[in-house]
Structure 1
Amino acid sequence: MHRIAFGTSGWRGILCEDFTFENVKVVTQAIADHVTSIGEKEKGIIVAYDTRFMGERFAKETARVLAGAGIKAYVCKRDTPTPVVSHEILRRKAAGAINFTASHNPPEYNGIKFSPSWAGPALPETTKDIERRANEMLGEVCYREVALDEAARAGLVEEIDPRETYLADIETKVDFTAIASLGTIAVNVLYGTARGYLDEPLMKHGAKIKTLNMHPDPYFGGFPPEPSEKYIQDFIGLVKSDPAVKLGIATDGDADRFGIVDADGSFIEPNYIIALLFDYLVRVRKMTGAVARSVATSHLIDAVAKKHGIEVIETPVGFKYVGELISQDRIIIGGEESAGLSIKGHVPEKDGILACFLVAEMVAREGLSVKALLERLYGEVGRFLTKRENITLSPVLEAGYADKQRQAPAEFAGLKVKDMVTVDGSKFILEDGSWLLFRKSGTEPVVRLYGEASSEEKLAAVMAAGKAFILG
């Protein structure tokens, strides 16, 4: 029997293997018991889903279990972006949300993401309690189900559409008039939940758009629904082939991550987008506060912060930690290298829709391409190049990995280790400002190796040294 384990963004599993109706009902009951234990049962829970297989069916079964526990379920009428779910939690003052999504994972996966009443991804103390409750109930009929029509008559199930209230809020945070002057914008929702959210506001304000992959597809066109360079070659080709296109914007399956393609078809790494938007929000919008980034995210953000005299808060990997700072109104912007960000006054959750709109606004108001903006920023604060690589460990290497980390060398690629950060994994800051981060996966024999340096040559040398250390 598969045990329930929550990762950085919820519990995920392969459909029909561990992600089954029975296990979903057990996890739902565990969430219901958790919400009851903290006195928030009367607030109700939002139930949402993305475009994956059986999402709507899982949502309805979850509503039946919640009704059996005496908790009202606000069930979304259609597949709904994760940031929209977060917005609706806050608007309704709900106890939280159960969202069926596996984000950017391949199509054979589905998942449950629980967001509590503060509307960010659940923190470890919450997920550990839900895990414990669920695993104690596995293999038992521990829940009561109520028929949907009966639950609706009892006021325990209500269908909702949170789209308009979310988009009305976005209108207050984005300069669509500026965006409309940009020229043609290419839009790609990767067969996911952002259709009607990414395209329609642009058209409403008179922007010209070209769209791709706008219909729901649980296979996501045969690729993981991740807006990374590897998986959006069709979109990059579309942007390259049309001189009228000034920018390409994309979101992942549940629209919490973003992908940006410049006018010439160049894919722009999320690390650089976060830094550019940070600089833009401070310099143009005059926003104040600190900035947050995960330990794996580019120090280009630190350089921009130094330029403006702003505090940098380094968090573990997982947007829940950044979201908590957004919720506390402490930061202007917070982001992760894996293409997640949010800003002050917005939801404490990754929002790929907002990120895309902000990039379009920045490009329009600055009158420069993304690459030109990045080169200008490099001229002001220095050049930062980043890379990530997954390294698979043999059983022998995995067994000795912890000991190896405790005996790390005093230098990499001929550069002395100046400092070490252990917020999440082992991060080595080198004497010239380059750095390496080793993070062991909690679910597979893989080490995630991150590196950053000021040139391609230095970055290659630092990454090679890091890989040699892991495999040596």
Structure 2
Amino acid sequence: MIKIVPTTPYQDQKPGTSGLRKKVPVFQQPNYAENFIQSIFDSLDGYQGKTLVIGGDGRFYNREVIQTAIKMAAANGFGKVMVGQGGILSTPAASHIIRKYKAFGGIILSASHNPGGPTEDFGIKYNIGNGGPAPEKITDAIYVRSKVIDAYKIANIPDINLDRIGSQSIAGMTVSVIDPVEDYANLMESLFDFPAIRNLLNLGFRIVFDAMHAVTGPYAKEIFENRLGAPLGSVRNFVPLPDFGGHHPDPNLVHAKELYDEMMGDNAPGFGAASDGDGDRNLILGEGIFVTPSDSLAILAANANLAPGYSSGISGIARSMPTSQAADRVAARLGVNMFETPTGWKFFGNLLDEDLVTICGEESAGTGSSHVREKDGLWAVLLWLNILAVRGESVADIVRQHWATYGRNYYSRHDYEEVDAAAANSLIEALRNRLDTLPGTMIGHLKVTAADDFAYHDKIDGSVSKNQGIRILFEGGSRIVFRLSGTGTSGATLRVYIERYEEDCMKHDLDTQEALADLIAAAESIADIRSRTGRDTPSVIT
């Protein structure tokens, strides 16, 4: 019943910041997914007889790889697999299931906000027992193993019925198909003041949530419409589709433009939100206002005590290095810990496990807390609704009051997508070679005070992560950050982050790109983006 299948290694299975992501046809190569899954198991110790959680975002090829992963888990000696009905589990829900049921770990099949379909993106990520993404020491070991693997183990059994909730035994292992929504929805109800939010909605406050035909659809329907009583139709595009309806499931101003236009138009709802392919990112909109992810992190941290689950306060805040420094000002005023980490949620895990921080965020629309070990789109939406219900003010009023209290961090990210990888790497290397000469130089009227390649020293496990992004710091606190994203599957994505702090309330209503114009020009001058990439403008500006 257990087959040992000879195989030939692939040399391109190096996990990025969120697991291994490639185009579907790459994963469909003979033994490609099997090699990577076996490499995961071969890099772990002590899982015999333990529980493995498996689920995904419903994208194309999700069901096929789930069947493979179940059969390989049985062959490798796991005692139990818990899998979401229909193969569905949002990333934060999977993290919660791992933690609640004390599973050994989990395999999450997703490429997050990337498009899905027969020629689009697919991904496999391993999460450890705390519910969070595997740290670099494990992903490095997986990659090393993948380059030399010569066989994998798989149970020779029929496919499991993923659509029927219940348990069965296969090859000596229990497979439990579970409701993917219930445990997560119950967790949300324990953290937030559902009666207060329900009352807000009963008073006629209108909300709209765009699930983008991705994984949060079933969760949002249950929470917003069934439990909170939002009118039918408040949750849109709620049926997960293998190709996300032909759209890009990224909740930004480009790919959620229809929602954005509605919120900026006449008779807009009071609150609009969206989440991405696997449910870990969020877009927050109020009537006539877009809340940047960096501002959202700061505002949520400043008001978290209004939610029952955080009524005693927070222990600290952590943000990824490219995220704006707005949250730093909140941490300073609250007198709590503040940590700056590399991009990638895995870097927050140790801080959360040691209770050094409670709320974490990344500028790429990811926000979350200690309730799980992943960023969580619906959690951020619910905390916003909790704050709105308690304060009785509009999104715009809350944002402007926050700026008046803390000052405004004008902030923008310019993405140059699918750039030639060699050109992108050359640009970063050229910047790296100039770091020692930049301090003291003038770029227009801006004086460079410091320049470095960010390195993170983990205070808990002593690990060091180098080359995490080029930082150019200017007199007065402005900064530009250059880094290559690890979430794409084609070419390279160059991300340029631009930030300026403005304390003067009279200057808080400027257009963001105009407020950052001199820094945007400085970024071009420093990095020669046009000549090195051939791009005149970014693909996406957020």
- Give me the TM-score of the superposition, normalised by structure 1: 0.92
Does the C-alpha gap of structure 1 residues 16 and 151 become closer, same or farther in structure 2, counting only changes over 3 Å? farther
- Note if contact 1:46-1:85 (Cα within 8 Å) is conserved in structure 2: yes
Cα distance in 2, alignment partners of residues 236 and 163 from structure 1? 27
Select the residue among 30, 34, 38 that pairs with 2:43: 34
Instruction: Name the structure 1 match of 2:516.
Output: 459
The one-letter code of the counterpart of 1:293 is R
- Give me the TM-score of the superposition, normalised by structure 2: 0.80
Instruction: Name the structure 2 match of 1:82.
Output: 91
The Cα shift of 1:283 comes to 7.2
Deviation per CA, 1:38-66, whole angstroms, max 9, x where unpaired? Answer: 21332121111112012112101111111
**Aligned positions, number:** 466
Is 1:447 the equivalent of 2:459?
no
Instruction: Name the structure 1 match of 2:344.
Output: 318
Select the residue among 190, 212, 225 that pairs with 1:172: 190
Cα distance in 2, alignment partners of residues 263 and 19 from structure 1? 45
Instruction: Name the structure 2 match of 1:231.
Output: 255
- Note if contact 1:385-1:459 (Cα within 8 Å) is conserved in structure 2: yes
Cα distance in 2, alignment partners of residues 334 and 400 from structure 1? 30
Instruction: Name the structure 2 match of 1:278.
Output: 301
Does the C-alpha gap of structure 1 residues 286 and 94 become closer, same or farther in structure 2, counting only changes over 3 Å? closer
Say what the alpha-carbon RMSD is for the aligned residues.
Answer: 2.4
- Note if contact 1:19-1:111 (Cα within 8 Å) is conserved in structure 2: no
Is 1:143 the equivalent of 2:153?
yes
Instruction: Name the structure 1 match of 2:463.
Output: none
Does the C-alpha gap of structure 1 residues 231 and 249 become closer, same or farther in structure 2, counting only changes over 3 Å? same
Cα distance in 1, alignment partners of residues 190 and 344 from structure 2? 27
| Counterpart mapping for 1:315-464 below 5 A | 315-344=341-370, 346-391=371-416, 392=419, 395=422, 398-399=425-426, 401-408=428-435, 409-410=438-439, 411=441, 412-420=443-451, 422-423=454-455, 424-441=468-485, 444-453=491-500, 454=502, 456=512, 457-464=514-521
Deviation per CA, 1:362-413, whole angstroms, max 9, x where unpaired? Answer: 1221222222211111111111111112344685674464243231322444
Instruction: Tell which deviates more after alignment, 80-89 or 459-468.
Output: 459-468
Does the C-alpha gap of structure 1 residues 206 and 396 become closer, same or farther in structure 2, counting only changes over 3 Å? closer
Select the residue among 93, 105, 109 that pairs with 1:96: 105
Cα distance in 1, alignment partners of residues 341 and 422 from structure 2? 30
Select the residue among 309, 312, 330 that pairs with 1:304: 330
Question: In structure 2, the residue corresponding to 1:67 is in which secondary structure?
Answer: helix
Question: In structure 2, the residue corresponding to 1:301 is in which secondary structure?
Answer: helix
For structure 2, the 5+ residue unaligned runs are: 1-9, 161-167, 456-467, 503-509, 532-542
- Note if contact 1:67-1:146 (Cα within 8 Å) is conserved in structure 2: no
The one-letter code of the counterpart of 1:311 is N
The one-letter code of the counterpart of 1:296 is P
Cα distance in 2, alignment partners of residues 254 and 289 from structure 1? 28
Instruction: Tell which deviates more after alignment, 72-81 or 119-128.
Output: 72-81
- Note if contact 1:67-1:151 (Cα within 8 Å) is conserved in structure 2: no
Is 1:129 the equivalent of 2:141?
yes
- Note if contact 1:14-1:110 (Cα within 8 Å) is conserved in structure 2: yes
The one-letter code of the counterpart of 2:519 is V
The one-letter code of the counterpart of 2:121 is Y
Deviation per CA, 1:46-95, whole angstroms, max 9, x where unpaired? Answer: 11111201211210111111111122322221311110100011111111
Instruction: Tell which deviates more after alignment, 172-181 or 386-395.
Output: 386-395
Deviation per CA, 1:123-176, whole angstroms, max 9, x where unpaired? Answer: 110111111112212xx4432333147962623433222422222121110111
Instruction: Tell which deviates more after alignment, 404-413 or 430-439.
Output: 404-413
Is 1:195 the equivalent of 2:195?
no
Instruction: Name the structure 2 match of 1:69.
Output: 76
For structure 1, the 5+ residue unaligned runs are: none
Cα distance in 2, alignment partners of residues 401 and 468 from structure 1? 14
- Note if contact 1:181-1:207 (Cα within 8 Å) is conserved in structure 2: no
Cα distance in 1, alignment partners of residues 425 and 21 from structure 2? 23
Select the residue among 170, 173, 187 that pairs with 1:155: 173
Question: In structure 1, the residue corresponding to 2:403 is in which secondary structure?
Answer: helix
Identity of matched residues, %: 30
Cα distance in 2, alignment partners of residues 400 and 277 from structure 1? 36
Cα distance in 1, alignment partners of residues 423 and 217 from structure 2? 47
